[in-house]
Amino acid sequence: MGTNKRYPHLGSQLAEERELREARKRGALHSLSADQLRLQSQVVTVVPERMQVWGLTWLRFGDVDVRSTVLVKRWTSDAVGVEVDVDGEKLRCWVWQGACQRLQNRVDGWR
């Protein structure tokens, strides 16, 4: 079987979506706790609605970890608030900043 020359990232994207669906069945999406975030003492930067910032990070559903392309919604000096779409449902969580790699555009996570 050949490769998709028009959308070379499509196979990786579909595999990630399948992994997210399977992981979602294993449990809820984990997020950092309020004690870990310390939002009352941290400056939170919010990404404007007209702007999209993409990242690549590890997400945990129940006991399963999935590396996923995410939309960055906000951040502090320690953490990043991200959003991921799983079958049309937008899920949000906080991850440690060191665990999130910024991408120039969405498809870079699937190359």
pLDDT at 106 over 80: no
pLDDT tier at 26, thresholds 50, 70, 90: very high
10 phi and psi angles, rounded to 5 deg: -60, -40
What pLDDT is stored for residue 48 in this prediction? 96
pLDDT tier at 77, thresholds 50, 70, 90: very high
What pLDDT is stored for residue 14 in this prediction? 81
Per the listing, tokens 């779409």 go with 85
What pLDDT is stored for residue 107 in this prediction? 75
Give the amino acid at 19.
E
Mean pLDDT of 50-68: 95
Q: What is the pTM of this model?
A: 0.85
Region class of 38: left (phi > 0), else alpha (psi between -120 and 50), else beta: left
